[in-house]
A and B are shown apart, each in its own frame.
Chain A
Amino acid sequence: MKSLPPLWADRILEWYCNPALLEEIQGDLHEIYDRQNKNRGKHKANLAYIWNVIRFFRWSNIRRQKSKYSTNSTAMFKNFLLMGFRSSMRNGLTTLINILGLSLGIAGAITIFIFADHQFHTDSSHTNFDRIYQITNHIKINDEIQDWSDSPIMLAPMMKEEISAVEDAGRVEFANAAFRHNDVVFNEFVWFVDPSFSSIFSFPTVEGSMNALQDRTKVLFTEEMAKKFFGDDPALGKPLSVKFQNGEIREFTVGAVIDRPVTSSFYFSIFLPMDVFNDLKFKDEYDWSYLTDATFILLRDGSTIGEVSGQMDRYKNLQHESLPDYYVESYAFHPLNGLSQDGHDIVSSVSGGAHPAGIIAMSIISAMLLLLSCFNYMNISVATITTRLKEIGIRKVVGSGRKQIIQQFLTENLLLSVFAMGIGVLIAYLFFLPGLSTLFPISIPFAFSSGASMFFLFFGLLFFISLVSGVYPAFYVSSFEPVQILKGKEKFGQRSLFSRILLTTQFVLAFTLIVGCFVFIDNAIYLKNKDWGYDYTDNYTIPLTKADQFLVLRDRAETLPFVESVAGSDGHIGYRNPYVAIDHLGTKVQTVHYKIGANYLQTMNMRLREGRFFDESIATDFEEGVVINEVFAERMNWDNALEQTFEVDSVRKTVIGVIQNFHHDSFYEQINPVMFTPVKENQFLTISIKAKPGQVGQVESTMKEAWKEIAPDDPYEGFVQAKVGEDFHTDNNANVNLLVFISGMALVLSCLGLFGLVSYNITRRKKEFSIRKVFGANTVTIFKLMNGDYTWILGISFLVGAPGGFF
C-alpha cells in the first residue's frame, strides 16, 4: 500500500506555495517522504515532511510571480518613466499648465497647513510647556457660566506657598503707559509680570537676562519694541522715562531684550516687574478683591493637575467674601499648549489665538482649491492621453495587462506631482506665506512644528494628488479594447461627459467665488463713498491728556492762517461715543451724548435741519439747550422737535436745534439717537480743528511741534477725521484681500484648465480646420467651432455659480 504524507501539511503547502513552483517542490517532498517512509517508518517520515513544509515557507516560494521569465519590473518601470517624460515633453505647453495649476493648489495647501500647524503648536518652545497651566475662573453671569482670565491677585502667591504640587506661580497685569526716550514717545501696552516668569517660561534673550524682572528699575523689551525705540543700536542699559496712567513718571533702563519666540501664543512687547505695579497701586498691600489679568502656575515635575485642582476649594471662600459679584463656580486649568485654541473662549484672554473656525474655513477653501487643480489635471490628462491611444493599443497587443497600463499612468502622474510639489513649495515659500503673514500681526515662518508633521504633509499631499488626479484617467484609458483602438474606432476626449461635468464644476466654483468677491468689494467701495452725514475731509482732531492743554493749543491754532475754526469737546464723533440712557415717558432710549464746546457743531460741519446751533451769547443755551439728531426726534415721536423738553441727569433740557443724521459708528451699525450739550472748557478731552480746504496736512505738522513743547511725556495721537472711517474698514480690508486672492486663484486655475483643454483640442483638430479653411470657411466659423462647446459650459456655470456668490 502506498502511504501518503499528512493531508493537512500538504494543504498548507498548496495554500502558501506559488502555484508555478508547487509541482516541483511537492514532487521533491513526496519523493523524500516515500524514501523515508520505507527506511525509517511512517511516523518519522511524517514529522520530516511537516518540517520540510515549514522550511519551504520562504518569501521566494510564496511570492506570486507568474514565472521567472514574465516581467522585469525595474526595466518596465524605467520604460514607464521614459515614456512619461517623452510624452510630457511632446505636449510641453499642456504639461506646463498642468504642473503650474497643481503647484498653485499645492502651494495653497502647504501655506494653510503651516499656518494651522503654527497656530496649534504655539507654545512648545518653552522647556516646561507641558507643566505650565493658566488658571481661569468660571464665573456665573446672567445665568451663564463664563470662563474669565481675570483672577484674584493674591491667588498666585498663596498657591505657591500652600500647595506643594505647585512649583512656581506668576501673574500678569496689563497696563497702558507712555514711554519716552529722548524725544521719542509712544503709548505702549505693558505686561507687569512676576520675577517667577523667568523660571516658569523659557524666553530666550538677545541682550541681558530675564532676571532683570527682580529689579524694579528695569524694563524688558522684545526685539521688535527695542527696534522701535532705539533702531539698530543695542538697547541694553538705555534710559527711558515712563508715565503711568495715574500720572506718575518713573525712570527705567532696559534690562533685557527678549527674542519672543514666533510661536508664542501670547503677544507681549514690554515686561515690567510686578513690584512696580505694587508700588503704583497697592503700596505693598495685597488684598483678595483686586483682580489681576492672568495667573500661570508651573506644576512640580511628576505631579498631576488633579492634585492642584483638589485643593482649590479653600480659595473660593476667600474670593467670595471679598468679591461677592465675581462669584467663582470653579477654577479651570488650561494647559499652555492648548491656550491658543482655548483662547477665544476665555473672557479677556492673554492669548490671541484665532478662532479655530477661521482656520477650518481656510483649510476647507484650500482643500477646494487643491481639488480644483486636481480636476484640472484630470481633465487635461484625459485629453492628452487620447494621442497616446495607439501606444496603449500596442502595449496591450504585446501583452501588457490592464494593471500595467494603470501602473504606467500612475507612475507618470507621480512624476509630475513630484515636480509640481517642488514648485509648489517654492511658491508657498516665496509668495503665499509672506502674503498671508501681512494679514496678521505676527509673521509666520516657513517651518514645521516637527519633522513628523512635515513628512505627513508632503507625503500625504503627494499621495492624495497623484491618486485623485491620476486614478480616473488611468482606469478610463486602460479599459479600451486594443482592437478598437488600433482600428481607430475609439474616439473620445472632448465629448466625454465626465470631463464636461468636471469643467462645469470648476467654473461654477470659480464664478461663485468671483461674484461673491465682487459683491463684497462693491459693498466696501460703496461704504467708502457713502455720505457720512457731515464733511470730514478738512477736519483734524487731537486727544488731550490734560484739560489745560486745550487753551494752549487753541491759542496756537487760531493764529495759524490755514485754520478755519477750533473747537473742544468731551466725546468726539467716531473717536469716543459715550452712551447714556435717556428716560422719556417711561421708555429708556440708548443715546450717544456728546458734551461739546459751543462751536463744535459748526467746526464739524454738522448739517442743521431745524432750529439753530448753540449761541454763546444766549445764556440759557448753556444751561438747558440741547441739539439732537433726526433719529432722536423719531424715537421720541416728536413731529416738531423744537422746544420739546426732556430730562438728562435730572436737568430739564430744551431742544434748540435738530441736525441731519450722521454716522457716529461703523457703517454696519445703525444710527442711534444723538444729543449734544455744551460743557465748559475744563472738561474738554479733545480739540478739533477745521482747516482751510486742502490744508489739513499743515495743521498736523504744526500741532505736532506744539504738542512736543506742552506735553513731552505723552505720545502725540492726533488724527485726521477721515481716519475714523478708515478704521471701520481695516477689518474689512483683510477679509476682502483674502477673498480677492482666493477667487483670483480659483479663476487662474480654472482658466489654466480651460486653456489647456482648448489649446489641446485645437492641435488635435488642426487638420479638420485646415481642410475647412481650404474649402472657404472664414475665421468666424472656425472660431465658433473651436469655442462653441466651451461657451456653453461657461454659460451654464455662470448661471449656476453667479447667484451662489450673492449669498
Chain B
Amino acid sequence: MKGNYLGELEELVLLTVGVLYPEAYGVAVMDEIEQQTGRSLNISAVHAVLKRLEDKGYVKSKMGEPTNERGGRRKRIFLLTAAGKRALEEANEVRSQLYSMIPKIALQFKLV
C-alpha cells in the first residue's frame, strides 16, 4: 500500500467527507470547506484529493441517484471507511498529544 501519511488537505477533505455523511460528493465537499474554513479550492483539486484518499483506502465511493440539477448525471458519493476513521482519530490524537506537551509557559503570552 502507498504511504499512510495523511496530508493536511487530505485530512481536511477526509473530515469533511465525514461531516457531510451521507451526501459527500465533489461540489458539496468543496462548498463545505469554503464555508467552514474560508479556503476556496478548485473542484479539480477536490477530485484529485478524493481519488487519492480512495487509493489509500480511507474513503470508498459509489454512484448516487441521478438528479435533475446536473442534467441527469449521477454524483459519486464518498463514504468514510473504517481505515479512514482510524486515520482521523490517529491524526487527532497526535495533535492533541503534541498540544498537551507544550509547556504551559509557552502559552502564556506575557513578556518576561
A residues in contact (CB < 8 Å) with B: 23-32, 34, 52, 55-56, 58, 60-61, 68
Contact = CB atoms under 8 A, between A and B. Distances in A.
Contacts of A25: 26, 47
A25 B50 CA distance: 12
Interface in B24-49: 25-27, 42-45, 47-48
B74 A32 contact: no
Given A24-B25, A58-B48, A60-B48, 18 more contacts: A24-B47, A24-B76, A25-B26, A27-B73, A27-B75, A28-B26, A28-B47, A29-B43, A30-B70, A31-B27, A31-B70, A34-B69, A52-B42, A52-B44, A55-B44, A56-B47, A60-B51, A68-B54
A29 B43 CA distance: 8
Contacts of B7: none
Given A23-B74, A24-B74, A32 B44 contact: no
Nearest to B45: A55
A52 B26 CA distance: 13
A23 B47 contact: no
Nearest to A52: B43
Interface-central residue, A24, A56, A60, by most chain B CB under 10 Å: A24
Contacts of B71: 27, 30
A56 B26 CA distance: 13
8 contacts: A23-B63, A24-B47, A24-B63, A27-B73, A28-B25, A52-B43, A55-B44, A60-B51
Given A31-B27, A60-B51, A23 B44 contact: no
A362 B63 CA distance: 65
Contacts of A24: 25-26, 47, 63, 73-76
Contact of A58 (B43, B44, B69): B44
Nearest to B68: A2
B89 interface: no
A28 B42 contact: no
B27 to A, nearest CB: 5
B87 to A, nearest CB: 19
B74 A27 contact: yes
Contacts of A60: 48, 51
In the complex, the 5 A-B pairs of residues with the closest C-beta atoms, listed nearest first: A27-B73, A55-B44, A24-B76, A28-B26, A27-B70
A32 B51 contact: no
A56 B42 CA distance: 10
B93 interface: no
B48 to A, nearest CB: 7
Nearest to A23: B73
Chain A CB count within 10 A is highest, among B47, B55, B74, for B47
Contacts of A55: 42-45
A55 B55 CA distance: 21
A27 B26 CA distance: 9
A52 B45 CA distance: 10
B73 A30 contact: yes
